[in-house]
Homo-oligomer: A and B are copies of this chain.
Amino acid sequence: MARPARVSPDRILAAAALEFAERGFAGARVDRIARRARVNKAMLYYHFKSKDGLYRTLLRRMFTLAAGRLRAIADASAPHADKVDRVIATMAAFVDEHAFFPAIMLREVADGGAHLDRETLTALAALPAAVGGIVQQGVRARAFRDTPPMFAYFSMLAPVIFYLAGARIRKEIAHLKVVDMRESSTDDFIRHMQHATRRSLARARHARTS
Binding site for B on A (CB under 8 A): 21-27, 102-104, 106-113, 116, 118, 121-122, 124-126, 128-129, 132, 147-151, 154-155, 158-159, 161-163, 165-166, 168-169, 172-173, 176, 178-182, 184, 188-189, 192-193, 195-196, 199-200, 205
Query: Within the assembled complex, what's the spacing in Å between the Cα atoms of A189 and B110?
Result: 19
Enumerate chain B residues within 8 angstroms of A178, measured Cβ to Cβ: 122, 125-126, 129
Shortest Cβ distance from A153 into chain B, in angstroms? 9
Q: A162 to chain B: closest CB distance in Å?
A: 4
Name the B residues within 8 Å of A154 (CB-CB). 159, 162-163, 166, 189
Complex CA distance for A58 and B204, rounded to whole angstroms: 44
Chain B contacts of A205 at CB under 8 A? 205
A50 to B106, CA, bound (A): 26
CA distance A162 to B184 in the complex (A): 23
- Determine chain A's interface SS by DSSP, over half rule: helix
Q: Which of B104, B110, B155, B188 contacts A165 (CB 8 A)?
A: B110
By Cβ-Cβ distance, the 10 closest A-B pairs, closest first, are: A112-B168, A26-B27, A158-B162, A196-B200, A106-B110, A158-B159, A26-B26, A129-B179, A103-B110, A113-B169
Asked whether, in the complex, the Cβ of B107 is within 8 Å of the Cβ of A155, the reply is: no
Interface centre among A154, A192, A195 (most CB of B within 10 A): A154
Taking the closest CB of chain B, its distance from the CB of A65, in whole angstroms, is 18
- A121-B172, A150-B184 are known contacts; what are 18 more A-B pairs with Cβ within 8 Å? A24-B26, A24-B27, A25-B27, A106-B107, A107-B110, A113-B169, A118-B176, A124-B169, A125-B179, A129-B178, A148-B192, A150-B182, A151-B192, A154-B163, A158-B161, A158-B162, A162-B162, A196-B196
